[in-house]
A and B are shown apart, each in its own frame.
Chain A
Amino acid sequence: MNRRVAPVVAAVLLVAMAGSAMAAGALPPGASTCSGCHGASGPVPVLHGRTPDDVAEAMREFREGRRTATVMDRIARGFSEDEARAIAAAVVVPPEERAP
């Protein structure tokens, strides 16, 4: 397994694990906090309906200081790439569509 593939596999595994955890009603660590600010309408960007890749990319850019932010840069730096990908996969699903 080369170095480029390893993180991808890890991320896929994490997303898969996040999926199974969600089926049991739990979200990956950190994910439940997002809905405190990200709701059903703006000005804080709505996450529901976006793609997991889109949200994960935004988190990466915030974490690396490549995207203009007010507060998300300070928050994104608290999560690894794997954590952010698992969170991204979870938060794009509205609560009413999540498995109970």
Chain B
Amino acid sequence: MTVSTATGSTMIAASPSAAVASRATATVHRAAPSRRAVVAGLAATLAAPRVLAQVPARVVVVGGGFAGATCARVLARAGLDVTLVEPAMAYTACPMSNAVLAGLRPLAGQVFGYAALRDEGIAIAAQNAAEVDAATRTVRLNDGTVLPFDRAVLAPGIAFRYDAIRGYSAEVANLMPHAWRAGAQTALLQRQLTAMDDGGTVVMSVPANPYRCPPGPYERASLIAWYLKERKPRSKLIILDAKDQFSKQRLFVAAWKQLYGDRLEWVGQSGGGTVTEVLPAERTLVTEFGRFRADVANVIPPQSAASIARDSGAADATGWCPVNPATFESRLLPNVHVIGDAAVMGAMPKSAFAANAQAKVCGEVVAMLLRGETPPPPKLVNTCYSLVAPGYGISVAGVYTPRNGILADVEGAGGTSALDAPASVRAAEAGYADAWFDTIIAETFG
């Protein structure tokens, strides 16, 4: 690793080819009709001296969640020089955090470090990324460090669109937690639920699609309802939803009726469920049709790709990052791939399972592209388990392949658990949910 401070910023592993790449890519930007072909040709030419010198190509991965950490490991195992940009010392996992809210799991059991990744030779830059520059093929960190790359993988996750609900903000989230990024927010919502008197009302606000973990709010509602039934039986939960259809809806609704009855009330978009404003001082959520006073308010705001993706130009007007579904390469930034919740993945939902699955394919694709090979069209799978109660699990699965420029459902595959499945199947799926979490954690962080 060479360090230069000549320009006032630190260059790690600086090499002359970075400057050449910068000029070459700038030229390529004007050659619009065959830009991809030219970029590929130039990349091969530029990569050649590195191959001859047996210097591994450099890949910078931004974000150490299920997508980024998994991808970094796949890339390192392919012999590449991998730097993971992740400011946190440890990752707090969202999957299973709804069980933490209900007191069924400890929050400490959601926290995973990066020691295994370090042991595999992955360099970890414990900083926030300030900008990913596709023209110069560099990632600039908040402390001024500049990391050159041959290819980059953006896996930064989500940001909350605090402006989408009047009165809501990062500060108000300390009174009305979203708990949609696990950690302190999860602990806060759990404390509020624990402190609430019996007879209280919990109100959840759920956004329209797309957002992280489509069935997540309904699993959360289920487990909060279970907690209330067990511990505070005179209490009630109201879900205010900005949509009329949601993931695994028939399974959730049937289970709610059976398990929780009138304790859980869901108000859809056409019933006036869209929350437009919050009044934190009055602990009140305002919808198009009325006001809901909450003893505990859980406001899950609309979301977008994380700010680093938007600030670097990887996101389009929707706030999310469009990608080539065969390679996950950004439609907007050449040599930059986007995976996980930040990307537009067509029919594939924003889930930890999907992020991990995309990361494994993306790692292989990036390694192949850097070797000058053409990756085959991928097939991806998603499986998402939700707990409706302890020992009661349901699932949705899908198989996806590129079609018409997006990741599309493979016809005839996928779907949800059977509506009439016996209790033994619900118990088995709850067990598989636990097992899935342990397995994916081992693959990502273990």
Chain A interfacial positions (CB closer than 8 Å to B): 21, 24-30, 32-40, 42-44, 70-71, 74-79, 83, 95, 100
Contact = CB atoms under 8 A, between A and B. Distances in A.
Contacts of B397: 71, 74-75
Contact of A36 (B353, B395, B428, B429): B353
Given A26-B368, A36-B436, A74 B378 contact: no
Contact of A78 (B376, B412, B425): B412
Contact of B364 (A25, A34, A42): A25
Nearest to A26: B364
B438 interface: yes
Q: How large is the interface on B (under 10, 10 to 19, 20 to 34, 35 or more residues)?
A: 35 or more
Q: Which of B379, B401, B436 has the most CB of A within 10 A?
A: B379
A24 B443 contact: no
B375 A26 contact: yes
A1 to B, nearest CB: 25
A43 B385 CA distance: 15
Q: Which of B353, B371, B436 has the most CB of A within 10 A?
A: B436
B373 A24 contact: yes
Contacts of A27: 364
Contacts of A74: 397, 413-415
B443 A70 contact: no
A25 to B, nearest CB: 5
A40 B401 CA distance: 27
Contacts of A25: 77-79, 364, 367-368
Please list the 4 inter-chain residue pairs (A to B) with the smallest Cβ-Cβ separation, ordered nearest first: A78-B399, A78-B413, A39-B439, A30-B379
B378 A29 contact: yes
Interface stretch (B162-170, B190-198, B354-362): B354-362
Contacts, number: 116
Contacts of B401: 29
B432 interface: yes
A67 B419 CA distance: 19
A93 to B, nearest CB: 14
A71 B426 CA distance: 12
A70 B415 CA distance: 11
Given A70-B428, A77-B412, A77-B413, A37 B436 contact: yes
Given A21-B376, A26-B368, 6 more contacts: A26-B367, A32-B361, A32-B364, A74-B413, A78-B398, A79-B413
Given A25-B78, A77-B412, A30 B395 contact: no
B268 interface: no
Contacts of A38: 439
A49 B438 CA distance: 20
A70 B425 contact: yes
Q: Which of A27, A42, A74, A100 has the most CB of B within 10 A?
A: A74
A44 B399 contact: no
Contact of A37 (B379, B412, B432): B432
A79 B410 CA distance: 9
B439 A35 contact: yes
Name A's interface SS.
Answer: loop
B443 A35 contact: yes
Interface of B: 77-79, 353, 356-357, 360-361, 364, 367-368, 371, 373, 375-381, 383, 395, 397-399, 401, 410, 412-415, 417, 425, 428-429, 431-432, 435-436, 438-440, 442-443
Nearest to A98: B77
A78 B381 contact: yes
Contacts of A30: 378-381, 399
A35 to B, nearest CB: 6
B79 A100 contact: yes
Contacts of A75: 381, 383, 397, 399, 413-414
A71 to B, nearest CB: 5
Contacts of B440: 36-37
A77 B398 CA distance: 10
B281 to A, nearest CB: 45
B77 A100 contact: yes
A95 B120 CA distance: 14
B355 to A, nearest CB: 10
A44 B412 contact: no
Given A24-B368, A43-B431, A71 B78 contact: no
B66 to A, nearest CB: 10
Nearest to B425: A70
Contacts of A33: 357, 360-361, 379-381
Given A26-B368, A29-B377, A33-B357, A78 B443 contact: no
Contacts of B373: 24
A83 B381 CA distance: 14
A33 B359 CA distance: 10
Q: Which of B361, B395, B415, B440 has the most CB of A within 10 A?
A: B361
Contact of B395 (A35, A42, A71): A71
Contacts of B375: 26
